[in-house]
Chain A
Amino acid sequence: MDGLTLFIQQIINGLRVGSVYALIALGYTMVYGIIRLINFAHGDFIMVGAYALFFTVPLMIAAGMPAWMSIVFAVFVCALTGILVEKLAYSPVRARGNNMSALITAIAMSLFLENFAQTLFGANPKQVGTLFNLPTILGISGNTFLTILIGVVVMVSLSLFVKYTKNGQAMLAVSEDKEASLLMGVNVNHTITLTFAIGSGLAAVASLMYIAQYNQVTNMMGSMLGLKAFVAAVLGGIGIIPGAMLGGLVIGIVESLSKAYISTITGGVITSAFSDAIVFSILIIVLLVKPTGILGKNTGEKV
């Protein structure tokens, strides 16, 4: 295989991983945009979706339907989890505490979901059956193309939703100015709930894409995935929807390329095992150079 083909393959792989990151990053960014909270539990919504898929895929197959149809159920479960977490934990804390207690609550919810799943299902990885049977095209599996396709479709429809529907506009309005949108007759609480539902639903789609590739579910799967997606959201500019998409794709490609080439470039000093460290270094550099992210606008801080 010559160098160019390898390079193109790495780029396509990067796009696949990146579209998973982008979908998760969208969830982070939408929630952050609307209530200024880093929803640490968001990564674990992916795990919830993955378990939902794990249990419904055999049922779907037994019922003679295509396995991927279970995504409908997974989206429902995830959206419900998101709404519950918001209503039971975040909303009461937001009403009383400050930023710090909200962040701690988010960490606590993440721990809760991870450990609750472990109590229910055990810590061993579970295998999910094959979701799609697709032919391999040009040495790249059909799953990869499908993942990228799903990612693009979801991102485009989300953009359209935000731009052209009343609820979408309400989301933008609330993230711009909560009090003002309240005065303009936007139902803020309803909008926040909707944001959580959509964000968590996207996490379910991300878990479908993840499982299509790796076929495996564990209670900790969302932790690292979520952190990297968060890096993507910050890179693109947190709170900005196109930023999350861009950030996700960039992180995916960087990760894929660094896994493939970093060892050769640095003469073996930095190996592909460092790819996680590289992703986090990007985060630190972005935060130091331009904390608002690639697409972020600089807003001065008021005293």
Chain B
Amino acid sequence: MRIRKDHTRSLIVSLAGVCLLGLIIFLADTLGLMDSYIRGIFIQCCFAVIMAASLNLVMGYLGQIALGHAGFMAVGAYTSALVTKAIGLAIKAGSMPALSNVAQFFIGLLCGAIAAALFGLLVGIPALRLRGDYLAIITLGFGEIIRVVIQNLPFAGGKGLANGQAGQALIGIMRMNDLYIIFAVTVVCVAIMIAFVRSKFGRAIIAIREDDIASSAAGLNTTHYKVLTFVFSAFFAGVAGAIYAHRGLGTLQYSDFTFLKSTDFVIMVVLGGMGSMTGSVVTAVLLSVLPEVLRAFADYRMLLYSIILVLMMIFRPTGLFGTYEFSLYRLLSRLFRKKPETLSSAAKGDV
């Protein structure tokens, strides 16, 4: 009983923390601090957080390197952009009842995420046979194939759909830069991913990471869990792609989704700590904000990241946070000198 109570309490505290963050955004917004530039950075952070967290599911918890995450993001971005475009046209033509921008965005987001998840399934199936280096390469190959195919699809370039032209940037995409909605989507996504990691599925994939053969001997269907993780991870990459597509610029460039884009997120996950959602969130925000704050630094950013990455691998291969998870409840309990239940801290993700 006590544990359940503790769990509920911790959930309430976390919710309160999220509300507090939302309040800060609201205050900043009403005080006029949120100009379009800051908004852009904020959306960039949100989308990077979802990308890094979803990649962490595969890299940190499943323990497989995936180098094609930008491919899933591209699928999500293009699908959602084309869907909102189609809806917009249908409304204009009168063949569909008028929908608010928000509703259109959510339909697009869902379609993008599902499309990306289907591609995740496609990539996940080779995961039945391969692991480690080979899996990394196959995801890289898939990412590149997705990009080349998108580049050559006539309906995914120019004005898109029937008026599209292959080989061009997709233009005229609906804008969706409402901070609260983006923030809410991000929070929900991260919450679902954390719930996933702590569920029986999460424990299963961590077991597979630790020892593939032992966990299959213990009766886990490793194939099933591996594919499931890929699908799940791709789904959220699709959500991030949808946010990226509608971030307010109105254009999508197929050359945005190269192997280099994928490595951006790999860097975030590795620096933050493979197997720490806290780490992914913190580094995603940090690496999105730093280049904007330090303009001079932006030119040398990749140079610096690569050096940090090598040093990190030599001196601290677990990343900044290792597998540590931040818990507001634990922090507060500690502050008020109340010892938290040991079991409940395990439930908070002290994996």
Contacts and interface: CB of A to CB of B under 8 A. Distances in A.
A38 B137 contact: yes
Interface of A: 36, 38, 89, 92-93, 96-105, 107-109, 111-112, 114-116, 119, 223, 227, 230-231, 234, 271, 273-274, 276-277, 280-281, 283-284, 287-288, 291, 303
Contacts of B152: 271, 273-274
Interface in B294-323: 299-300, 302-303, 305-307, 309-310, 313-314, 317
Given A119-B300, A119-B303, A107 B263 contact: yes
B277 interface: no
B133 A103 contact: yes
B250 interface: no
A116 to B, nearest CB: 6
B39 to A, nearest CB: 29
B49 interface: no
Given A115-B302, A287-B130, 8 more contacts: A38-B133, A96-B314, A98-B317, A112-B307, A227-B144, A273-B151, A276-B148, A277-B144
B148 A104 contact: no
A173 to B, nearest CB: 22
B163 to A, nearest CB: 20
Contacts of A231: 141
Interface of B is mostly: helix
A104 B65 contact: yes
A97 B303 CA distance: 22
Contact of A93 (B126, B148, B314): B314
22 contacts: A38-B133, A38-B137, A93-B310, A93-B313, A93-B314, A97-B317, A99-B132, A100-B65, A103-B136, A104-B65, A107-B263, A107-B309, A108-B310, A111-B263, A112-B310, A231-B141, A277-B144, A277-B145, A284-B141, A287-B130, A287-B134, A287-B138
B63 interface: yes
B129 interface: yes
Contacts of A93: 310, 313-314, 317
The contact size tier of chain B is 35 or more
Interface string B115-143: 00000000000100110111011101110
A234 B137 contact: yes
B149 interface: yes
B144 A38 contact: no
B70 interface: no
A293 B266 CA distance: 28
B196 interface: no
B259 A223 contact: yes
Interface in B132-171: 132-134, 136-138, 140-142, 144-145, 148-149, 151-152, 167
Contacts of B145: 277, 280-281, 284
B75 interface: no
Contacts of A109: 306, 310
A234 B63 CA distance: 22
Contact of A105 (B138, B300, B302, B309): B309
